[in-house]
A and B are shown apart, each in its own frame.
Chain A
Amino acid sequence: GQNIDQPTEMTATEGAIVQINCTYQTSGFNGLFWYQQHAGEAPTFLSYNVLDGLEEKGRFSSFLSRSKGYSYLLLKELQMKDSASYLCAALEGLNAGNNRKLIWGLGTSLGVNP
């Protein structure tokens, strides 16, 4: 079946490092997205991984292991503004049309404390 799991809530301290995990099960796989959503705002794109390994983008990095069905988002030098929900979404294999299907997690609510 199709399933995405990520922790519901996490808390961390300003300046620290936090890792948000995501495991997935999909029918075919064409990559994994991470989005950030502040309360009352639009989700914004953070990263896309399709190959195994770590992709670094400033303070944020994303890792993928296709064989383990596992990804994580790593946030370094945490700032108060990083308090948000982080959504993991797996891209299933394309169907016969040009339609792709994203399987979304419930999101991880991260609170950053001073």
Chain B
Amino acid sequence: ETGVTQTPRHLVMGMTNKKSLKCEQHLGHNAMYWYKQSAKKPLELMFVYSLEERVENNSVPSRFSPECPNSSHLFLHLHTLQPEDSALYLCASSQATQNSPLHFGNGTRLTVT
């Protein structure tokens, strides 16, 4: 048990579908993150919410939309995805201090057909 819970663990969706990934942390952290992990690529930071401030990675397509209703919950809304978006999507949390380690969830394995 990691303290960071992601659902669903696996998701298969068509390119015209809309779905949402959910993340919840029980560690009392004040920063939450979405990462994309693809084969043979380094972890790619998508979005950060830190001390209630949202930071975007400008290279993330608009078909990915984050939502952070409070410091414990994070969502990633998906719509009109492409097959190249198939990857493992990892949620993480930490304290909003520079050397605080990230605590990751087990990820959602997304397949876009």
**A residues lining the B interface (CB < 8 Å):** 4, 30-31, 33, 35, 40-45, 48, 50, 87, 89, 91, 94, 97-106
Contact between chains at A30 and B106 (CB < 8 Å): no
Can you list 15 residue pairs at the A/B interface with Cβ under 8 Å?
A30-B99, A31-B99, A42-B2, A42-B4, A42-B105, A42-B106, A43-B43, A44-B104, A48-B101, A87-B43, A97-B53, A99-B50, A103-B42, A104-B43, A105-B42
Taken together as a complex, chains A and B put the C-alpha atoms of A6 and B84 apart, in Å, by 25
Taken together as a complex, chains A and B put the C-alpha atoms of A29 and B7 apart, in Å, by 34
Q: Which residues of A contact B43 (CB under 8 A)?
A: 43, 87, 89, 102, 104
A44 to chain B, nearest CB (A): 7
Known: A98-B50, A106-B42. 9 other contacts (CB 8 A): A30-B98, A35-B102, A42-B4, A42-B105, A43-B104, A89-B43, A99-B48, A99-B50, A102-B45
From A35, A41, A48, A101, contact of B106 by CB (8 A): A41
Contact between chains at B96 and A98 (CB < 8 Å): yes
Knowing A106-B40, A106-B41 touch, does A98 contact B102 (C-beta < 8 A)?
Answer: no
Contact between chains at A42 and B107 (CB < 8 Å): yes
Chain A interface, DSSP helix/strand/loop, else mixed: loop
Q: Which residues of A contact B2 (CB under 8 A)?
A: 42, 44
- Number of A-B residue pairs at CB separation under 8 A: 55
3 closest Cβ contacts across the A-B interface? A45-B101, A42-B104, A104-B42
Interface set, chain B 63-113, CB cutoff 8 A to A:
90, 96, 98-99, 101-107
Taken together as a complex, chains A and B put the C-alpha atoms of A30 and B55 apart, in Å, by 20
Knowing A43-B104, A45-B101, A45-B102 touch, does A98 contact B42 (C-beta < 8 A)?
Answer: no
B105 to chain A, nearest CB (A): 6
Taken together as a complex, chains A and B put the C-alpha atoms of A48 and B42 apart, in Å, by 19
Q: Which residues of B contact A103 (CB under 8 A)?
A: 42
A3 to chain B, nearest CB (A): 10
Q: Which residues of B contact A102 (CB under 8 A)?
A: 43, 45, 102
When C-beta atoms are compared, the residue in chain A nearest to B9 turns out to be A40
B41 to chain A, nearest CB (A): 7
